[in-house]
Structure 1
Amino acid sequence: MSATSPTERDNFIWLLIALVTLLFSGALMQQLELEDGASLINISISFTLLVAVWSMERRKAWYQSRIGLTVFIAAIGIGDYFLNSAGLSLLQLIFIFSFFSFTTLLACRQILFQGSVDLNKIIGAICIYIMMGLTWAFSYLLVEEIFPGSMLGFTEADWHANLQDAVYYSFVTLTTLGYGEITPVQPLARFLAYMEALTGQFYIAILVASLIGIRLAKIRDGD
Structure 2
Amino acid sequence: MTDIASLTKIYSRRRFACLFFSLVVTMVTAPVLRAIGLNTRPLEVVLALNMLAAVLVTLFRFGTWVALGLLALLVVPRIGYTLMGYQPLLATSQGVGALICLVSVGVMFGYLLREGTVTSERIYAALNAYLLIGIMCGLLFCILEEHWAGSLSLQGEPLARSGESPLWDTIYFSFVTLGTLGYGDIVPVYGPARALAVAEAMFGQMYLVVIVARLVSLYKGQADRKDLGARDTAAGEDKTGSQPSRE
C-alpha distance in structure 2 between counterparts of 1:23 and 1:151, whole Å: 20
Greater mean alpha carbon deviation, residues 40-49 or residues 188-197 = 40-49
Among 143, 165, 169, the alignment partner of 2:169 is 165
Q: Is the 8 A contact 2:77 2:90 kept in 1?
A: yes
Among 188, 198, 205, the alignment partner of 1:184 is 188
C-alpha distance in structure 2 between counterparts of 1:111 and 1:206, whole Å: 10
Letter in 2 for 1:47: L
Q: Which residue of 1 aligns with 2:109?
A: 108
Q: CA RMSD in A?
A: 2.2
Greater mean alpha carbon deviation, residues 68-77 or residues 195-204 = 68-77
Letter in 2 for 1:45: L
Q: Is the 8 A contact 1:172 1:178 kept in 2?
A: yes
C-alpha distance in structure 2 between counterparts of 1:148 and 1:107, whole Å: 34
Q: Is the 8 A contact 1:113 1:213 kept in 2?
A: no
User: What TM-score do the two structures reach when normalised by structure 1?
Assistant: 0.87
Q: Which residue of 2 aligns with 1:69?
A: 70
Q: Which residue of 2 aligns with 1:33?
A: 37
Among 203, 206, 213, the alignment partner of 1:209 is 213
Shift of 1:196: 1.1
Shift of 1:80: 0.6
Q: Is the 8 A contact 1:104 1:131 kept in 2?
A: yes
Q: Which residue of 1 aligns with 2:238?
A: none
Shift of 1:60: 4.6
Letter in 1 for 2:221: A
Letter in 1 for 2:113: L
Asked which structure has the greater CA Rg, the reply is 2
Shift of 1:66: 2.1
Unaligned 5+ segments in structure 2 are: 230-247
Q: Is the 8 A contact 1:96 1:138 kept in 2?
A: yes
Provide closer, same or farther for how the CA distance between residues 187 and 197 of structure 1 changes in structure 2, counting only shifts above 3 A.
same
Q: Which residue of 1 aligns with 2:89?
A: 88
Q: Which residue of 1 aligns with 2:160?
A: 155
Q: Secondary structure at the match of 2:166?
A: helix
Instruction: State, as a whole percentage, how many aligned pairs show the same letter.
Output: 25
Letter in 2 for 1:184: P
Shift of 1:133: 0.7
Letter in 2 for 1:214: L
Post-superposition Cα deviations, 1:30-66, rounded to whole Å, max 9, x if no partner, equal: 234345x44x2442133212322233353352x4322
Shift of 1:18: 2.3
User: What TM-score do the two structures reach when normalised by structure 2?
Assistant: 0.79
Provide closer, same or farther for how the CA distance between residues 13 and 171 of structure 1 changes in structure 2, counting only shifts above 3 A.
same
Among 41, 54, 57, the alignment partner of 1:55 is 57
Shift of 1:12: 0.5
Greater mean alpha carbon deviation, residues 17-26 or residues 118-127 = 17-26
Provide closer, same or farther for how the CA distance between residues 166 and 140 of structure 1 changes in structure 2, counting only shifts above 3 A.
same
Shift of 1:164: 1.1
Q: Is the 8 A contact 2:101 2:136 kept in 1?
A: yes
Post-superposition Cα deviations, 1:68-101, rounded to whole Å, max 9, x if no partner, equal: 3123312211111111111111111111111111
Provide closer, same or farther for how the CA distance between residues 205 and 60 of structure 1 changes in structure 2, counting only shifts above 3 A.
closer
Q: Which residue of 2 aligns with 1:145?
A: 146
Q: Secondary structure at the match of 1:101?
A: helix
Q: Is the 8 A contact 2:60 2:67 kept in 1?
A: no
Shift of 1:113: 4.0
